[in-house]
């Protein structure tokens, strides 16, 4: 990818949810919610504190994370639909 996020920004690729419920009911596209789980594609170097020191991010490329429903900015880079969020919008890393 030819994109490098700045500061404490993180680039995510959404991981699509299930097509069926556990009971076997197929969910149509019109009622599906946007997934809140994604894979980290790229991370910025980190935010600066008051002293000017860079604080590294807690996530790295390849991590699976959960993020807020209305977080970030959707962009299309190299034909891929991606999401750019601040690290503070990430709720946690899925183990």
Of 33, 46, 40, 47, the residue nearest 82 (C-alpha): 40
Task: Tell me the average pLDDT of the chain.
Answer: 85
- CATH fold group of domain 9-94: 10 Kd Chaperonin, Protein Cpn10; Chain O (2.30.33)
Residue 37 CA to chain centroid, in angstroms?
A: 7
Name 14's bridge partners.
Answer: 38
**Residue in this structure with the two tokens 């009911």, named with its chain if needed:** 25
Find all residues with CB under 8 Å of 77, minimum gap 6, and list them.
1, 2, 3, 11
pLDDT value, residue 84: 94
Mean pLDDT of 44-73: 90
pLDDT value, residue 27: 67
């Amino acid at each position: 990818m030819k994109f490098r996020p700045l500061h404490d920004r993180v680039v995510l690729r959404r991981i699509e949810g299930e097509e069926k419920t556990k009971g076997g009911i197929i969910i149509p596209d019109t009622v599906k919610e946007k997934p809140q789980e994604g894979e980290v594609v790229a991370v910025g170097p980190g935010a600066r504190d008051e002293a000017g020191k860079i604080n590294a991010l807690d996530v790295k490329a390849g991590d699976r994370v959960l993020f807020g429903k209305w977080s970030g900015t959707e962009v299309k880079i190299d034909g891929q639909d991606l999401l750019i969020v601040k690290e503070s919008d990430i709720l946690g890393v899925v183990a």
